[in-house]
């Protein structure tokens, strides 16, 4: 357990006003706020836009017998304007947690929907915030062992416009894809770094 504690907490922020600027599949809030300063006193009131999206979870699927990962490839609109990247991303199985659903339940559901596999209780790795400078999104990351020989094909929910291809890669190939930028999303990068430490036996353990 770390001994680090932040200097300030939620009570050291005052929200002056808050309203919803946009509400669709995601939402954007306009917030006027002030907070305590490290040197003492309070900041002036200032504006921030906050991108609100539901909490999500991802699952690192690994076959330890064959040293292979089961990944998924699908179109991502967030990559559309990147001229040096394909808008088809190589990712972990992942999804948004439904209301009343636990992160573990979502992980099992998405593995079936996106990869056609069934897993037992996934092991928790960590929580992290994807972009805390402007987004509420928190990711829960899990690990599950599978038989990669059973993985393959095309999956996804047609009513959600999902078109997902399962990709099985040896760990070395997956690591090379990370190194060259083909794997370019935070969830997959964090998971592969964790797995690399776990494989090497140098301290990447499941967080309790």
Q: Domain with 127 in it: what CATH number? A: 3.90.79.10
Q: Domain containing 70: what range?
A: 56-200
**Looking up tokens 């996804």, which residue turns up?**
156
pLDDT in tens, 87-97: 999 999 999 99
Same domain, 74 and 107: yes
Which one of 110, 160, 162, 208 is the catalytic residue?
160
HEC profile of 123-138? EEEEEEECCCCCECCE
Q: What is the pLDDT of residue 158?
A: 74
CA distance 168 to 143: 16
pTM listed for this prediction: 0.88
Query: Using CA atoms, how far apart are residues 1 and 24, in angstroms rounded to an integer?
Result: 40
Q: What's the pLDDT tens digit per position in 63-88?
A: 999 999 999 999 998 888 987 888 99
In three-state secondary structure terms, 46 is: strand
What pLDDT, on the 0 to 100 scale, is given for residue 85? 85
Distance (Å, rounded) from C-alpha 24 to C-alpha 135? 15
Q: Is 160 a catalytic residue?
A: yes
pLDDT at 204 over 60: no
Q: List, for residues 28-55, the tens digit of each pLDDT value.
A: 999 999 999 999 999 999 999 999 998 9
* 43 and 66 fall within a common domain: no
Q: Are residues 124 and 155 in the same domain?
A: yes
Please indicate, yes or no, whether residues 17 and 75 belong to a single structural domain of this protein: no
**What is the number of structural domains in the chain?**
2
């Amino acid at each position: 357990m770390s001994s680090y504690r932040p200097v300030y907490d939620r009570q050291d922020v005052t929200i002056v006003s808050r309203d919803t600027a946009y509400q669709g599949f995601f939402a954007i809030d306009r917030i006027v706020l002030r907070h305590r300063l490290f040197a003492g006193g309070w900041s002036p009131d200032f504006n921030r836009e906050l991108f609100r999206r539901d909490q999500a979870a991802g699952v690192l699927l690994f076959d330890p017998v064959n040293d292979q990962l089961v990944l998924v490839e699908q179109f991502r609109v967030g990559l559309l304007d990147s001229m040096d990247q394909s808008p088809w991303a190589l990712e972990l199985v992942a999804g948004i947690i439904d209301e009343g659903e636990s992160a573990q339940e979502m992980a099992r559901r998405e593995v079936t929907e996106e990869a056609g596999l069934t897993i037992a209780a996934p092991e928790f790795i960590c929580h992290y915030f994807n972009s805390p400078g402007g987004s509420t999104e928190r990711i829960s990351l899990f690990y599950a062992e599978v038989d990669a020989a059973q993985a393959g094909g095309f999956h996804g929910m047609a009513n959600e416009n999902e078109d997902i291809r399962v990709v099985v890669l040896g760990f070395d190939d997956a690591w090379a894809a990370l190194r060259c930028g083909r794997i370019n999303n935070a969830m997959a990068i964090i998971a592969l770094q964790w797995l690399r430490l776990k494989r090497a036996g140098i301290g990447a353990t499941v967080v309790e």
